[in-house]
Amino acid sequence: MNLTITVDDDVLKRARLRALEEDTSVNAVLRSFLETYAGAAGRERAAIADLIALSLESAAGRGAAAWTRDELHDR
């Protein structure tokens, strides 16, 4: 899939020079960034889902129950 973005000419020129120094391309740098960025969102959603699942399994917050030390430190 193609993507078109607008970047200041000076910024693009500096990015091309840096990419050249790093033996890569601006396209490759942006692709890598977007892959990391998109993956991070997926990991964050998974971490939140894990936290919610753990909270539902715990007895804390239900009546007089409280989290045990083992529940708090369970990995």
Tens of pLDDT, residues 14-50: 999 999 999 999 999 999 998 888 887 777 888 888 8
Residue 50: C-alpha distances to residues 17, 20, 37, 56, 62 (Å): 43, 42, 20, 10, 19
Give CA–CA dist 50/74, Å, rounded.
13
Q: Is the pTM of this model over 0.95?
A: no
Q: Which residue has tokens 């007089």? A: 64
Domain ranges, ordered by start, for the chain: 9-73
- Contact call for residues 50 and 43 (beta carbons, < 8 A): no
Give CA–CA dist 71/58, Å, rounded.
7
